[in-house]
Amino acid sequence: PRRGEPLLRVDGIRKEFGGLVAVKNVSFEVAAGEIVGLIGPNGAGKSTTFNLISGELPRTDGNVYLGAEKISGLRPSRIARRGLSRTFQHVKLIPGMTVIENVMLGAYLRTNEGFFSAGFRLNRTMEKRVAAEAARQLKRVGLEESMHVPAGSLPLGKQRIVEIARALCSDPILLLLDEPAAGLRYKEKQELARLLEQLRSEGMTVLIVEHDMEFLMNLVDRIVVMEFGKKLAEGLPHEIRSNPEVLEAYLGG
Ligand code: ADP
Ligand code: MG
């Protein structure tokens, strides 16, 4: 899709965990070239929504489309190959491995499901190709200087950017970022915001879960709000900030 046309369409998705309904009939769209914020109190269903979009969890009902193509029902690796990439809220880097090794690991996981079962035995050609791609993405995010240091030696803000470089391998068209700014200092959040603006100017589309309204306010094009598994509101940042229902959800929660 061209800039401004719908790229991601979430259509009435629902997820039940036993008796608990974690996501209830949620619909929204993300247009190509947009950064959209997904917010809501803890337990609202944001991460579950990400897992339904990226195929990590089977949906109970509803559909997800990437461009004209229905992706719900496909395996995560297939959805990734169609151009969707993501970071996870709790899966982080391996601290003892170097930055580039961490990024390479992500590239393998995206491109080759048999990587682990193959016992890490890779042919040299493939290893070189993946290393080149990892280096290219680290350069893109401004971390080429840190390629060969242990990931765990970097400050948290830079580690989050390494996670994004890992997700950028193979040039996805849509990035889902689950709380990339959590725990970061003010300056680190600003650096992250600048990177996301750079990616948007390069044509990337981003859906981001984040709690810090000030961080989102200056960055995102639109915000979708969830509460108790449902979509509570959707709109421009200033509309969301002054929406009484949204304020109630945050202050009353
Ligand atoms: P958020 O990311 O908005 O904080 P989640 O999507 O993680 O919320 O969780 C939404 C609800 O679904 C919560 O009540 C959570 O406990 C529940 N939940 C999430 N994942 C699972 C799971 N794998 N099994 C059972 N319940 C889950
Ligand atoms: Mg979450």
How high is the pLDDT of residue 120? 56
Q: What is the pLDDT of residues 213-235, one digit of tens each?
A: 889 999 999 999 999 999 999 99
CATH number of 90-171: 3.40.50.300
In contact, 220 and 189? CB cutoff 8 Å? no
CA atoms within 13 A on the CB side of 75: 6
Is the shortest distance between the CB of 48 and ligand 1 below 6 Å? yes
What are the structure tokens assigned to 213, written together?
């309204």
CATH number of 1-83+173-253: 3.40.50.300
Mean pLDDT, rounded, for 146-167: 96
- Taking the centre of ligand 1 as the mean of its atom positions, its distance from the CA of residue 133, in whole angstroms, is 34
How high is the pLDDT of residue 116? 46
Shortest-distance Cα residue to atom 21 of ligand 1 = 17
* pLDDT of 122 over the 90 cut: no
How high is the pLDDT of residue 188? 97
Is the shortest distance between the CB of 17 and ligand 1 below 6 Å? yes
Ligand 1: atom nearest CA of 44 is 3
SS3 readout for the chain: CCCCCEEEEEEEEEEEECCEEEEEEEEEEEECCCEEEEECCCCCCHHHHHHHHHCCCCCCEEEEEECCEECCCCCHHHHHHCCEEECCCCCCCCCCCEHHHHHHHHHHHHHCCCCCCCCCCCCHHHHHHHHHHHHHHHHHCCCHHHCCCEHHHCCHHHHHHHHHHHHHCCCCCEEEEECCCCCCCHHHHHHHHHHHHHHHHCCCEEEEECCCHHHHHCCCCEEEEEECCEEEEEECHHHHHCCHHHHHHHHHC
Beta bridge pairs of residue 231: 226
d(CA 141, CA 113): 26
Angle, vertex CA 150, rays to CA 124 and CA 102, nearest 5: 45
* pLDDT of 118 over the 80 cut: no
What are the structure tokens assigned to 106, written together?
């992500």
Mean pLDDT, rounded, for 185-198: 97
What value does the mean pLDDT of the chain take? 91
- What's the whole-model pTM score? 0.93
Mean pLDDT, rounded, for 149-165: 96
Q: Which ligand is nearest to the CA of 40?
A: 1
What are the structure tokens assigned to 172, written together?
């996805």
Shortest-distance Cα residue to atom 20 of ligand 1 = 48
* pLDDT of 115 over the 60 cut: no
* pLDDT of 114 over the 50 cut: no
Could you report the predicted ipTM of this complex, rounded to two decimals? Answer: 0.98
Beta bridge pairs of residue 28: 10
- Taking the centre of ligand 1 as the mean of its atom positions, its distance from the CA of residue 55, in whole angstroms, is 15
Instruction: From 151, 143, 107, select the one nearest 126 (Cα to Cα).
Output: 107
| Fold agreement (1-83+173-253, 90-171) | yes
Domain boundaries, the chain: 1-83+173-253, 90-171
Q: Model confidence at 210, in pLDDT bands (50, 70, 90)?
A: very high
How high is the pLDDT of residue 191? 97
Q: What is the pLDDT of residues 62-94, one digit of tens each?
A: 999 999 999 999 999 899 999 999 998 887 899
Integer-rounded Cα Rg, in Å, for the chain is 18
